[in-house]
Amino acid sequence: MEYITISHIYNWKKIKKKFAAITAYDFSFAKIFCNQGVPVLLVGDSLGMTIQGHDSTLPVKVKDIIYHTKCVRKGAPNSFLIADLPFMSYYEINQTLKNAAKIIQSGANMIKIEGGKWLIETIKELSMRSILVCGHMGLTPQNIHYLSGYKVQGKQKKEANQLINEALLLEEAGIKMLVLECIPSLLAKKITEKLSIPVIGIGAGVYTDGQILVMQDLLGITEGKTPRFVKNFLFNSGSVQNAIKKYINEVENSIYPNEKNSF
């Protein structure tokens, strides 16, 4: 796989080519994902739950993201690598700039932050310093206590319109990509069509430019209740490599997610 840049991803949106993304946390799986042609990887603060065993992403520290970003970059030198700024690591601009710089220096191409219009000035400051920013709207796990659980967002008209308007504001402020999590598929379609930047969905239906899944969900090794949008690609695939190939193929050909995996 050639070295993937933000320009590649923008061009895919322009030509309406769907792309697959996966969370990654270590060298070995990152190498598999890269070798199978996954163009975009995310070192997500989901590692708090998948790797550290917490019941939310909130305990994750910047040093954890840095450690796992270094591991993933070694395994996937050519993938476009996004890394999360964890909970309360971007509440103040000077702190945000320092934390983002450390993560970029660890091998990430882009940082991801959760929230709406309150992030406008933060996005502007990061962008002015040539730090690529990915937004994250809809279900934002760092706000899990405020949201009272992992629930679908944007079901009501007022809430949906707010998401659309704030997505446009974030794009104007300078985000170069947006993740939409757990929102109705038709709302995700509207946002994707209105934005000129690439939009990645997770539990947001088939109409987004790309899809992302937590690797443990994709491989069917997550304990507990399986979210509606999750599909076990390892089942009947024979190997992790084949599961990844199947995932890429189904995303690129708009097979996954189907209606059963959407809201």
At CB < 8 A and 24+ separation, what contacts does 189-196 make?
Answer: 190/164, 191/163, 191/164, 191/167, 194/164, 194/167, 194/168, 195/167, 195/168, 195/171, 196/13, 196/171
State the catalytic residues.
181
Contacts of 138 (CB under 8 A, 6+ apart): 153, 154, 163, 180, 181, 182, 183, 204
Is 79 annotated to bind a ligand? Reply is no
Contacts of 195 (CB under 8 A, 6+ apart): 167, 168, 171, 178
Is 55 annotated to bind a ligand? Reply is no
What Rg do the C-alpha atoms of the chain give, in angstroms? Answer: 17
Nearest CA-CA partner of 104 in 142, 136, 62: 62
Is 84 annotated to bind a ligand? Reply is yes
The neighbouring-strand residues paired with 133 are 111
For the CA atoms of 104, 106, 111, 114, the dihedral, rounded to the nearest 10 degrees, stands at -140
Contact criterion met (CB below 8 Å) for 165 and 159: no
Nearest CA-CA partner of 140 in 109, 169, 116, 156: 116
Is 112 annotated to bind a ligand? Reply is yes
Contact criterion met (CB below 8 Å) for 154 and 166: no
Is 45 annotated to bind a ligand? Reply is yes
Residue numbers belonging to the annotated binding site for Mg(2+): 45, 84, 114
Residue numbers belonging to the annotated binding site for 3-methyl-2-oxobutanoate: 45-46, 84, 112
Residue numbers belonging to the annotated binding site: 45-46, 84, 112, 114
